Amino acid sequence: MPLAFAADTETAIPLRVVAADKIDQVLNGLSESARAWVKVQGFSADLGEYITIPDDAGAIAQVLVGYGTPEKRARGRFHMAEVAQKLPKDTYRITEGLSGAALEEAALGWLLAGYSFDRYRKPASANAQLVAPDGIDADRLTIIANGEALTRDLINTPASDMGPDELENATRVLASEHGAAINVITGDDLIPANFPLIHTVGRASTRAPRLLDLRWGDAGPQLTLVGKGVCFDTGGLNIKPGSSMGLMKKDMGGAATVLGLAHMIMALGLRLRLRLLIPAVENSIAGNAFRPQDILTSRKGLTVEINNTDAEGRLVLADALTLSDEDDPDLVISMATLTGAARVAVGPDLSPFYTDDDAHADAIAKAARAVADPVWRMPFHDPYEPMIEPGVADLDNAPAGGMAGSITAALFLRRFVKSPYMHFDIYGWQPKPAPARPKGGVGMGARAVLEALPKLLKL
C-alpha cells in the first residue's frame, strides 16, 4: 500500500506537541479537570512520552506528546514516528508545538513509520493515521516517502526474487510510471557494446548481467545517477564466509537508492534531464568466474589487476561511470554499498560521501541537516593514489594492507569520470529498529541529494 496522509476529517483528534520547557504554559491552557488528569498521570513532556486526555464521555478529546529538551532531541531524529507507533489506532491532527522543518520532519517520519515489508507475511496492522499538517507540502512529502518505500522494498526482497532480471523489471515499471525511456544491454551483448567489466563480474551467474539505462526529461541540466546493482555477492572465487554473506541481498542497495531518488525527481517534475545507469549483476562462482591476478581492460581502456574478486562493485561501476561521462552531464552521482571500511569509519546511520567541489559538499551537508538525512564528507585524498596502482596494470581493485579502504575505492571510481562527480558509500541497512526506520533495507543520502539539487544544478 502506498504511504499516505489520512483524509482531512472533523473527527481527527488534536495532537499538541509539548517541549519540556513549555509544559507549564500548556497546562495553564487546559481546563481544570484536564490539568488535574495530566498531573495525576505524571506527564512531564519527556521526549516520546504521550498522554491521552478524555472528554466527558470517555473518548479521546486531545493528546499531548512530549518533545523533551533540545539536548535529547539532538540525539536522534523522527521522534514523532515513535509516538505514531504507540498511539491508539485513530486519526490525529498536529495542532501546535511544531513548525517549519521540525513539522516537516514530524510529518515525514509519521509517513515512514507506516512502512512495513509484507511481501512474505500477513500485513501488519496499520499505525495511527495523521492528517497532513497545515504549512507543509503534503504532496512532496508523500512522494519522498514512497520513493523511500520503493528503495526499502527492493533491498528487503531476497535475492531469490531480486536478481538482475527482477531489478530490470523494477526499473521498467518505474520508467513506465513516469514516461521515461529505457534501454537494456544483456548478457553476451555487453561484450560488443564494450562493457567488459560488467560482463566479467556477472558471467559466472546463471542470471545474465546487464546494464540498465533510463532517461527522463528534455530540458534543464543533466543529472546522471549511477547505482551499484550487485543483486547478490558471494565474493566470487574469494568467497565470503557465511557470516559476511548473510546480508548480501542488500548489495544492490545503491541501485535501490537511486531508483527511489529517481522516483522522487520524476514525480516532483523537477526541471532537469535525468539519466539512471545501473549495472545489474550477480557475483557468483562457476568455471568461468574471473580470478585473482586476472588483468581486465575496462570500457575506458584502463587495465585493472584483480587482487580480490570480492571487490567487484567498483568494477561494474567503472564501466557505468565511463558511459556516464560520455555525454558530458552537469553532475554524476554514484551510490553503492561499496566497502565495509565505510561502516567501520562512520557506522550504519551516516552516509559517507566524496566530492572535490567544496560548494557541492556544503550544499549536501546543509540539505542533510535540513531533512534529517545525515551525511559525512570523506576526502578524495590524492596522496593515496599510489595505493591503487599495482605496477603491472593501471589500477588495483583491492589494495593490500586494509587501510583507507573506502577512500581507495572512491579514488578508484574517480579515475573513470571527468565530469563533476560525487560518490556515496552507503550501507543501505538498518540493523536495529529506530523511529521511522524498521530493521531492514533503508535509503541513505537520497533525501539529502534531492534537497540539495537546486544548488547542485542551479535549478
Q: Which listed residue (22, 35, 172, 240) is catalytic?
A: 240
Helix ranges (DSSP H) in 229-327: 242-245, 253-268, 313-325
Q: Check if the beta carbon of residue 40 is closer than 8 Å to that of residue 88.
A: no
Q: Where are the beta strands (DSSP E) in 319-455?
A: 331-336, 351-355, 375-378, 395-396, 421-425, 429-430, 440-441
State the DSSP code for 26: H
Cell of 436: 521511522
Q: Check if the beta carbon of residue 283 is closer than 8 Å to that of residue 231.
A: no
Cα gap 193→209, rounded to integer Å: 13
Q: What is the DSSP string of 169-210?
A: HHHHHHHHHHT-EEEEEEGGGGTTTT-HHHHHHHTTSSS--E
240 catalytically annotated: yes
Q: Which long-range contacts (CB under 8 A, 24 or more apart) does 184-191 make?
A: 184/210, 184/211, 184/212, 184/213, 185/210, 185/211, 185/213, 186/210
Please state the separation of Cα 166 from the chain's center in Å.
19
Q: Check if the beta carbon of residue 184 is closer than 8 Å to that of residue 211.
A: yes
Q: Check if the beta carbon of residue 327 is closer than 8 Å to that of residue 383.
A: no
22 catalytically annotated: no
- Phi first, then psi, for residue 351 (nearest 5°) are -100, 105
Residue 237 parent element (H or E) = none
Q: Check if the beta carbon of residue 291 is closer than 8 Å to that of residue 204.
A: no
Q: Which listed residue (215, 314, 415, 447) is catalytic?
A: 314
- Phi first, then psi, for residue 232 (nearest 5°) are -160, 140
Catalytic residues: 240, 314
